[in-house]
Amino acid sequence: MLESDVNVKFKSMRHMSQNPPPTASLLSIGETARRAGCSPRALRYYEEQGLLAPQRTQGGQRRYPVDAVERVLLYRRLIDAGLGTEVIRELLPCMNGSAGADTVATLEREHAKLLDQARELEATADRLADILKSL
């Protein structure tokens, strides 16, 4: 039987909009992408989807706080797990430490889906183990 032992903690994004860090502590789009293991295009896509809000230099270049790397890694894990960017955007208030009843319901629904997927994967792994034993 598969047991859920998942404990997810989110860092608050509140500080990102209230007091932007000085430019020196911000990362370029290329450096952010490198640290997150994705392409700059992926960062622009997350911005288009409302998941990232980089600051801009006077020349219009994107600048990301260092903690944006952790956010991108989380977004990629959620997308890999089957959540769409619309659902992730809906769950952003949870990552900021607050959420309405609808958002909590969405989070609970997505959590249940992930647990179901994990059970299916475990059953498949068990079946493969049985096949290996029979060889």
Q: What pTM was estimated for this model as a whole? A: 0.71
The boundaries of the domain holding residue 76 are 22-80
How far is CA 130 from each of CA 12, 97, 123, 126, rounded to the nearest angstrom? 45, 44, 11, 6
41-85 pLDDT, tens digit each: 999 999 999 999 999 999 999 999 999 999 999 999 999 999 999
Q: DSSP states of 63-95 as a string?
A: EEETTHHHHHHHHHHHHHTT--HHHHHHHHHHH
Residue with tokens 């209230």: 18
| Rounded to 5°, angle at Cα 15 from 11 and 21 | 115
Q: Are residues 26 and 73 in the same domain?
A: yes
CA 101 to chain centre: 21
Say yes or no: 102 and 120 in one domain.
yes
Residue type, 12: S
On the question of pLDDT at 105 being above 50, the answer is yes
Segment 34-43, tens digit of pLDDT: 999 999 999 9
Which of these three, 59, 80, 101, is where a domain ends?
Answer: 80
If one counts the domains in the chain, the total is 2
What CATH code is carried by the domain that includes residue 64? 1.10.1660.10
Judgement on whether residues 95 and 132 belong to the same structural domain of the protein: yes
